[in-house]
Amino acid sequence: MAGKTSTQDEEELFARPRVRGIELMRNPTSNKGMAFSLKERLLLGIHGLLPPVFLDQSDQVAIIMENFYRWQNDLDRYIYLMSLQDRNEKLFYRVVTEHVETMMPIIYTPTVGLACQKYGVVYRKPRGLYITINDIGHVYDILCNWPIDDVKTIVVTDGERILGLGDLGSYGMGIPVGKLALYTALAGVHPDQCLPIMLDVGTDNETLLKDPMYIGLRQKRERGPAYDQLVEEFMNKVVKRYGENVLVQFEDFGNRNAFRLLEKYRYKFCTFNDDIQGTASVAMAGIFASLKLTGKSLADNRFVFQGAGEASIGIAELIVKAMVVRGLTIEQAVQRIWMVDSRGLIVKNRPSGGVTEHKIKFARDQKPIEKLEDVIKMVKPTAIIGASAIAGAFTETILRMMGKFNDRPVIFALSNPTSKAECTAEQAYTFTEGKAVFASGSPFPPVTYKGKTFYSGQGNNAYIFPGVGLAVTVCDIRSITEDVFLEAAETLSEMVTAKDLAEGRIYPPLSDIRRVSTSIAVKIAEFAYKTGLAYHQPEPGDKAKLIQEHQYKTDYEQFISPIYDWPNNPAKI
């Protein structure tokens, strides 16, 4: 073409990355290890820096898996996978997506809980941002230190309530890192657009404060006006840095902050709380699927909750919404829910301390009952849901009662990690004589009872938040309503097959989770355009195509154009 320079010709012939040589291999987003071709090694200045062997990505996956199984415990496997992510990002996500049932318990629950407890030991290199209570007035400067400008998804925690493990302070950073890895692996959100953030305001965990390996602020947790000032500045500066459509997911905040921050910011920013809304959505999906096994309508159920924190309140609220959609009044729906916390059944005239604000809606107008077992005797529920992090709360007596009251009792032991579960899958199936419709937060192995093998469902938020996040960022959804999570729950429940139900599953197998996340994202995209929530214009005719075009691919980038035909035409080089 007339006027074209030799430099322009060169740029069209091959895509030369900004980084070359050893720095190219040190960058996890561009490193391909021994998958670099000879042409690439020669032109990119890395010939001789690698062994003279060429491995495609499939060969590399096989080597990774062989090494993965050499490690003797899951924490070492976690560290191994994080080191892989640090050196070769595409290979890491290829491994996770191809072996998702094996990798999920390692990179997320339950192993991530142990990794958080040991974070001072497992920490290797910076991943995400740490913003402390001492950084008030300088939050924007810290955000600007992050090298990526096009951030679309942020997961933020203050580390106060990590899984069922409590206050882990800055060690809680493992949760945002793990969540965002799932955004990419399970839904295809581009990793460059993800940013994990820790708001370090101190910790009340005395063990950590005395631990010489602790890598956070060594002070008591800030709970006063300065805390709110930090969060307010953070939310506003995030929008200033990345735009008003950046998604901020709140993760593992304590009860006292989780509810009020959600209500404060949900209508002003693109945000949601995964512990409240994500947990609610995945549990609601399990409830919808359970109806196919119990033969009951949603309104025919009576729910007893063990625990009245973020997860339980979120689930209860979404159950109420689903019942209202199906014709009940709010009052009628609430009357089908009983909640038990550390002081027993939540009642209106509690003798001491009253009822905290987020529990008032579900307080019963009756005399107090202290024990969960006595509540279940009185209510004779069709479903019990545990999200209290009290291991063994669903005792043998309770499980046997549930089997006596119901042909198919619904038992959800949702607390994480596994050590905090209200009961095991084996206990649920054995003590109900194989009747239970069971789901848990962390995975349990299959259970064989009287010759039948049950594959219990894992009510993991990972079925929900990656697909929701993908739809939100692609369609530019700026207000994430409860209807979005109800839509996600219904979509997930519809993907449970008759074969799944026959095996005892009320969720699709984890091996299908990429397909599940994509389907949820497409369904939410359709819902968002129908209800006016989507700002991405013009509206695409094919929503599935729109979603798929934005999904991250694990295939290696070809740095050198095929027009360079080495070694048949070495003169070109």
Across residues 12-23, what is the average pLDDT? Answer: 63
CB 262 within 8 A of CB 273: yes
* Bridge-based pairing state of the strands 194-200 and 153-157: parallel
Residues 242 and 366 in one domain: no
Q: Considering the chain, what is the average pLDDT of its residues?
A: 92
The contacts found for 333-339 with CB under 8 angstroms, 24 or more apart, are 334/361, 334/362, 336/299, 336/301, 336/302, 336/303, 337/303, 337/305, 337/362, 338/302, 338/303, 338/304, 338/305, 338/362, 338/364, 338/375, 338/379, 338/381, 339/304, 339/305, 339/307, 339/308, 339/312
- Low-confidence winner among 122-126, 230-234, 362-366 (lowest mean pLDDT): 122-126
CB 386 within 8 A of CB 393: yes
Residues 391 and 367 in one domain: yes
Tens digit of each residue's pLDDT (9 = 90 or more) over 333-357: 999 999 999 999 999 988 766 787 7
Q: pLDDT category, 155, cuts 50, 70, 90?
A: very high
- Site of tokens 């965002």: 180
Sign of the Cα pseudo-torsion (93, 95, 98, 101, in order): negative
Tens digit of each residue's pLDDT (9 = 90 or more) over 452-501: 999 998 899 999 999 999 999 999 999 999 999 999 999 999 999 999 99
Q: Is residue 569 predicted with pLDDT exceeding 70? A: no
Residues 287 and 248 in one domain: no
* Last residue within a domain, chosen from 243, 269, 295: 269
Q: pLDDT category, 164, cuts 50, 70, 90?
A: confident
* Last residue within a domain, chosen from 269, 288, 306: 269
Q: Is residue 402 predicted with pLDDT exceeding 90? A: yes
- In this prediction, residue 2 carries a pLDDT of 42
Q: pLDDT category, 560, cuts 50, 70, 90?
A: low
CA–CA dist 182, 391 (Å, integer): 26
The number of distinct structural domains making up the chain is 2
159: left (phi over 0), alpha (psi -120 to 50) or beta: left
CA–CA dist 27, 192 (Å, integer): 12
Beta bridge partners of 339: 305
432 by Cβ neighbours in 10 Å (0-12 / 13-18 / 19+) ranks as: buried
Q: Is residue 15 predicted with pLDDT exceeding 70? A: no
Across residues 163-183, what is the average pLDDT? Answer: 95
Residues 131 and 236 in one domain: yes
Tens digit of each residue's pLDDT (9 = 90 or more) over 97-147: 999 999 999 999 889 999 999 998 888 888 899 999 999 999 999 999 999
- Residue 347 belongs to a domain: yes
- In this prediction, residue 7 carries a pLDDT of 44
Nearest-5° Cα angle at 177, 173 to 178: 115
Residues 326 and 373 in one domain: yes
- In this prediction, residue 570 carries a pLDDT of 41
CATH number at residue 429: 3.40.50.720
- Residue 259 belongs to a domain: yes
412 by Cβ neighbours in 10 Å (0-12 / 13-18 / 19+) ranks as: buried
Q: How many residues does the chain have?
A: 573
Tens digit of each residue's pLDDT (9 = 90 or more) over 277-303: 999 999 999 999 999 999 999 999 999
- In this prediction, residue 352 carries a pLDDT of 67
CA–CA dist 106, 87 (Å, integer): 18
Residues 406 and 435 in one domain: yes
Helical residues (DSSP H) of 391-481, grouped into ranges: 396-405, 425-431, 465-475
Q: How far is CA 33 from CA 56, 321, 351, in A?
A: 10, 51, 66
Across residues 204-222, what is the average pLDDT? Answer: 95
Tens digit of each residue's pLDDT (9 = 90 or more) over 411-453: 999 998 888 999 999 999 999 999 999 999 988 999 999 999 9
Q: Residue 490: CA atoms inside 13 Å, Cβ hemisphere, count?
A: 17
Residues 203 and 294 in one domain: no
Kindly state the tokens that stand for 347: 């009642």
Residues 283 and 225 in one domain: no
CA–CA dist 86, 102 (Å, integer): 20
149 by Cβ neighbours in 10 Å (0-12 / 13-18 / 19+) ranks as: exposed
- In this prediction, residue 537 carries a pLDDT of 95
Residues 247 and 366 in one domain: no
Q: pLDDT category, 4, cuts 50, 70, 90?
A: very low
Which pTM value belongs to this model?
0.91
Q: How far is CA 57 from CA 30, 54, 70, 74, in A?
A: 14, 10, 20, 24
Residues tagged active-site:
108, 179
DSSP string, 236-285: HHHHHHH-TT-EEEE-S--HHHHHHHHHHHTTTSSEEEIIIIIHHHHHHH
Residues 362 and 418 in one domain: yes
- Residue 66 belongs to a domain: no
Residues 257 and 317 in one domain: no
Residues 330 and 406 in one domain: yes
More confident residue, 565 or 76: 76
CA–CA dist 202, 216 (Å, integer): 7
Closest C-alpha to 463, from 501, 494, 429: 494
- Residue 497 belongs to a domain: no
- Residue 142 belongs to a domain: yes
- In this prediction, residue 289 carries a pLDDT of 97
Q: pLDDT category, 11, cuts 50, 70, 90?
A: very low
- Pick from 10-19, 21-30, 343-352, 478-487 the range whose average pLDDT is largest: 478-487
Cis previous bond, 417, omega within 30: yes
- In this prediction, residue 509 carries a pLDDT of 92
* Last residue within a domain, chosen from 269, 304, 320: 269
- In this prediction, residue 10 carries a pLDDT of 43
CA–CA dist 41, 48 (Å, integer): 8
Other beta carbons within 10 Å of 113:
24
- In this prediction, residue 318 carries a pLDDT of 97
Beta bridge partners of 282: none
- Site of tokens 């579960």: 421
The boundaries of the domain holding residue 395 are 277-462
- Residue 344 belongs to a domain: yes
CATH number at residue 250: 3.40.50.10380
- Site of tokens 């063994």: 392
Q: Residue type at 255?
A: N
- Residue 131 belongs to a domain: yes
CA–CA dist 359, 408 (Å, integer): 29
- Residue 103 belongs to a domain: no
